[in-house]
Structure 1
Amino acid sequence: MSVDPSSKPRNETEHERLDRQLMELLQGFRVATTGVQVLFAFLLTVPFSRGWSGVDGTGKALFYVALFGAALASICFIAPVFQHRILFQLNKKPLLIRRANRFGILGAFALALSITASTTLIVQTLAVDAAAVGTALAVLALCGWAWFVQPYLTRLSAARRAEPEEDS
C-alpha cells in the first residue's frame, strides 16, 4: 500500500518552499498571460473591422467590458513579474507570493469577465439576444465553477479535515 504523497513532508527549508511557491505562481501566470494577450490583441482589432459600424449600444458596452477586462487581467498577470524584478534580493518573497496570489485571483476575475463579454458580443452579432444571454450565463458559470467555486469548496473541505477534533 502506498502512502498518500500529501501526507509526506517535502523536507525543504522555508527558503526552498518560498522559491518553489514563487516559481509555481510565475509559471501559472505564463500560461494565463498567453491567453489574455491573444484575447486582448483580438479585441484591439475589433473596432477597425468592417462590421464594427453595425454593432449596437449593447454590443459596444460588451466590447468595452471585454477590453477593460483583458487589460486588467494583463496588468494583474504581469505585475508579479515586475514586482519580483524590482524587489529582487530584498528578502520580500513572502510578500511577493501573497501579492502574486491576489493579483492572480483578481486577474482571473477580470479574465472571466472579458471572456464572457467577448463571447456574448460575438453570439449577439450572430444570433438572437436570448442566445447571447444564454451564452453569457453558461460561460460565466463555467469560469466561476472551474476557477473559483470548485477550488474554494476544496479549500473549505481541507480546512474542515485539518481542524482538530474537540473532546466531548
Structure 2
Amino acid sequence: MDPAERRDGRDETEDERADRMWSDLIQEVRVAQTGVQILFGFLLTVAFTPKYTTLNDTDQAVYITTVVLGACATGALIGPVSLHRLVSGRRIKPQAVAWASRLTFVGLLLLLATMACALLLILRVATHGDHVVQLVVAVVAWYLLCWFGLPLWARYRYTSR
C-alpha cells in the first residue's frame, strides 16, 4: 500500500476514489439543482405578472440581472450531469470529477449571486426602506458563512497537516 493511501485511511484505487467522489458530488448537486430550478422557474414567471410593468427601471434591471444569473447558475449546476453523460465510458472519470466539481463550485457562487439579487429585488419592492441593502448584505454574509466559511474552517481545523 502506498504511503498516501495509509495517510487518508482508505484502501482504494484512483478509479474507486473517482467513483466515490462522483457519487458524493452528484448527491450534493441534487440539492443545489432543486433549489436553483425552483428559484429560476419562479423568476421566469415574474415578467408576466401585472406588477412587473409598474417596476421602475432600476428594479427591472435588478430583475433582468437576477434572471440571467439564475440561468447561468442552472447551467452550471446541471453541467455535471451532461459532462458525465458525454464522457461516460471514456476512462476519464478522475478528470470528469475535477471538472464537475469546478462547475458545481461556480454554480454555487452564481446561486449565491442569484439569491442575493432576488432578495434585493423583493425587499426593494416590498419595503421601499433604507435598510434593504443592509439586510441583503447580512443575508449574503450568512450564506458565505454557511456555504464557505464553516466548511473552510472545518477543512483547516480537521485536515491533518
Normalising by structure 1, we get a TM-score of: 0.85
Amino acid at match of 1:29: V
> Which runs of 5 or more structure 2 residues have no equivalent in the other structure?
1-6
Identity rate, percent: 32
SS at match of 1:44: helix
Amino acid at match of 1:151: P
Query: Does 2:145 correspond to 1:145?
Result: yes
Q: In structure 2, what is the Cα distance between the partners aligned to 1:102 and 1:71?
A: 17
2:59 aligns to what? 59
Amino acid at match of 1:41: G
Q: In structure 1, what is the Cα distance between the partners aligned to 2:60 and 2:152?
A: 33
SS at match of 2:9: coil
Amino acid at match of 2:54: G
How many corresponding residue pairs?
155
Query: Does 2:6 correspond to 1:9?
Result: no
Normalising by structure 2, we get a TM-score of: 0.88
Kindly indicate whether the alpha-carbon contact (under 8 Å) linking 1:65 and 1:113 is maintained by their aligned counterparts in 2.
no
* RMSD (CA atoms): 1.7
Amino acid at match of 1:150: L
Q: In structure 2, what is the Cα distance between the partners aligned to 1:43 and 1:76?
A: 17
Q: In structure 1, what is the Cα distance between the partners aligned to 2:51 and 2:78?
A: 32
2:116 aligns to what? 116
Kindly indicate whether the alpha-carbon contact (under 8 Å) linking 2:36 and 2:73 is maintained by their aligned counterparts in 1.
yes
2:4 aligns to what? none
